[in-house]
Structure formats: C-alpha cells, structure tokens
Structure 1
C-alpha cells in the first residue's frame, strides 16, 4: 500500500484497519480487522466513541480479525470500556486468538474486560 503526502507535505502511513458496525436487538457489534497501533488507533477510537455516544446498552468488539495490537490499542479498549460503563452499558470483547488473549492476560486486562472466546457472544 503506497504512502500519500498530506497537505503539509508529511507522508501519511497507510491505514491497515477495517471496522464494521452492526446494530441489533442485543446492542452494537463492532468487528475489527487489521492492525491496531498508534497509526490506526484514532480511527478505531472514533468508531467506538460513535457507538458509545449513540447509547447502545451493549457493545461487543470482535477482535479475531486483528493481526497486531500494541499498547495504544489496549489503551483505547480500556477507554472505550470506561466510557461505555459510565453510561450504564456493557462493553465486551470476543477473541479466540491466542496471541491477543496472551497480551490481555499479561496486562491483567482479562480481569477488567469481559472477554468471550469465540463468536457466540
């Protein structure tokens, strides 16, 4: 994927992240595919913010399509969780990828976030 020059002349790194939001009777399902890092986090943060302010009682983020996640991604998930819980709703993750689950365990986030293994959430 080629880089593009921004109006200021600085090269913009390619965004390798895709999000799909589906609203249903049980709340919002956000499917994330690609890399969640310092370059793509603003896009995902905005998408999750839009869902939270919409007032959904339940937000479920599907991470099985995520190929990479750094500490910026972890931080934005925690921020989205806090924002959703502050509205009285629930924020849940669906993840069966052993690499991502390991990161969530190492950081202790498995004790903070509700994580479902598989797609049956």
Structure 2
C-alpha cells in the first residue's frame, strides 16, 4: 500500500484519523464520483457547501444505517429545487449547470452507497 501526504483542515484531519481504516474505501468512492465528470465540464469546487457536506459525512465513518438515513441539508435541497426551476424556465448558466451536475453525481453516489448499505444490513440479519 502506498502512503500519501495531504494538507487538510484540522477538523477533517481528526475525522480522517478517527476513521483511518475506512479511508481507502471513502477515497475510492470520492474519486470514482469525480471520475464520472465530463472532461468538458469543470469539477465542483472542493469548497462547495454540498461537496463539503458530503465529504464531512463520509469522513465521519458512517454506519450502514447512517448512510440509509442521510439526507442533504435543507439549504442544499432548496438550492437544488432552485436550479431545477431555472432549468425548466430558462437556460442555466455554465456555473449553474456544473452545480446541477454536481448534485446529480452526488445523488448517483448515494444511490450506490445506500444499495451497498442495504446489502450489508441484510447480510447481518
């Protein structure tokens, strides 16, 4: 296994250290999500509130039950509804389109995570 060094905020470092055994899997999931982005679109900013929200959740080492219960914040949900409304009524700006694609990617990631969590919980019974 290769060792890498990253500069991360102190709070995130604490979460990573507390969940070090799960980090290879969490990083793999995050990188797979980023890999699905089209080369013609920019990647979401790592400081995006939605991306930060999801990274914080995954870095906390959620249990399968936590994953099944996860929902984005009300603010993130409101923003998604705004983007969808703009998309229905007119054209999204390039930044808005990228933001909406980020929501779609994160939704896809959580569909996969929740399916895996259900399988894990079913196996435990």
Q: TM-score, normalised by structure 2?
A: 0.29
Flag the structure with higher strand content: 1
Relative contact order, higher structure (CA 8 A, sep 6+): 2
Flag the structure with higher helix content: 2
Q: TM-score, normalised by structure 1?
A: 0.30
